[in-house]
Copies of this chain bind each other. A is one copy, B any other.
Amino acid sequence: MSNAPTANPIAPNPIAVEVTRGRDPADAYVESRHRAACAVVAADGTLVHGWGDVGTPVFPRSAIKPIQALPLLESGAAEAFNMSAAEISLSCASHNSEDRHVETVTAALARAGLTPDDLECGPQVSSNKEVLAERLYAGVQGSPLRNNCSGKHMGFLLTARHLGEETRGYVRRDHPVQQRLFQVISEMCGVDVTGLPEGIDGCSIPCLALPLSNLALGMARLADPRGLGEVREAAAKKIIRSIAAEPFMIAGTGRFCTAANAAFKSRAIVKTGAEGVMMSAVPELGLGVALKIDDGDRDSRANGVAMAAVLRFLGVLDDGAAAEMAGQLEIPVRDLNGARVGSARAHAQWPSG
A206 to B22, CA, bound (A): 9
Kindly provide the distance from the CB of A63 to the nearest chain B CB, expressed in whole angstroms.
Answer: 13
- With A5-B18, A137-B136, A199-B23: A32-B276 Cβ-Cβ less than 8 Å: yes
Interchain CB contact under 8 A, A201 and B335? yes
A22 contacts which chain B residues (CB < 8 A)?
3, 197-200
Q: Determine if A190 is an interface residue (Cβ-Cβ < 8 Å).
A: no
Kindly provide the distance from the CB of A128 to the nearest chain B CB, expressed in whole angstroms.
Answer: 14
A298 to B335, CA, bound (A): 15
Contact of A337 (CB < 8 Å), options: B20, B197, B204, B297: B204
Residues of A112-131 at the interface with B, using a CB-CB cut-off of 8 Å, are: 120-125
Provide the A1-43 mask, 1 if CB < 8 A to any CB of B, else 0: 0010111100010110011111100011111111100000000
Residues of A203-257 at the interface with B, using a CB-CB cut-off of 8 Å, are: 203-204, 206-207, 209
Residues of A28-61 at the interface with B, using a CB-CB cut-off of 8 Å, are: 28-35, 57-59
Contact of A339 (CB < 8 Å), options: B29, B137, B200, B275: B200
Q: Determine if A301 is an interface residue (Cβ-Cβ < 8 Å).
A: yes
Contact of A21 (CB < 8 Å), options: B21, B29, B199, B297: B199
Interchain CB contact under 8 A, B32 and A275? yes
Chain A contact-residue range equals: 35 or more
A33 contacts which chain B residues (CB < 8 A)?
294-295
Kindly provide the distance from the CB of A257 to the nearest chain B CB, expressed in whole angstroms.
Answer: 19
Interchain CB contact under 8 A, A19 and B336? no
Interchain CB contact under 8 A, B336 and A23? no
A23 to B296, CA, bound (A): 19
| Complex interface: stretch among A97-105, A261-269, A341-349 | A341-349
Interchain CB contact under 8 A, A29 and B3? yes
Kindly provide the distance from the CB of A80 to the nearest chain B CB, expressed in whole angstroms.
Answer: 29
CB-defined A-B contacts under 8 Å, sample of 30: A3-B27, A3-B28, A3-B29, A5-B18, A21-B59, A22-B197, A22-B198, A22-B199, A23-B199, A23-B200, A29-B199, A31-B58, A31-B199, A31-B209, A31-B296, A32-B296, A33-B295, A35-B35, A120-B337, A122-B337, A125-B133, A133-B136, A199-B342, A200-B335, A200-B339, A201-B341, A204-B336, A204-B337, A295-B295, A295-B297
Known: A31-B59, A32-B296, A125-B133. 15 other contacts (CB 8 A): A3-B22, A5-B18, A5-B348, A23-B199, A29-B197, A29-B198, A31-B199, A32-B275, A33-B295, A35-B295, A124-B336, A137-B137, A201-B341, A204-B336, A298-B299
Q: Which residues of A contact B (CB under 8 A)?
A: 3, 5-8, 12, 14-15, 18-23, 27-35, 57-59, 120-125, 133, 136-137, 139, 147, 197-204, 206-207, 209, 275-276, 293-299, 301, 335-339, 341-342, 347-349, 353
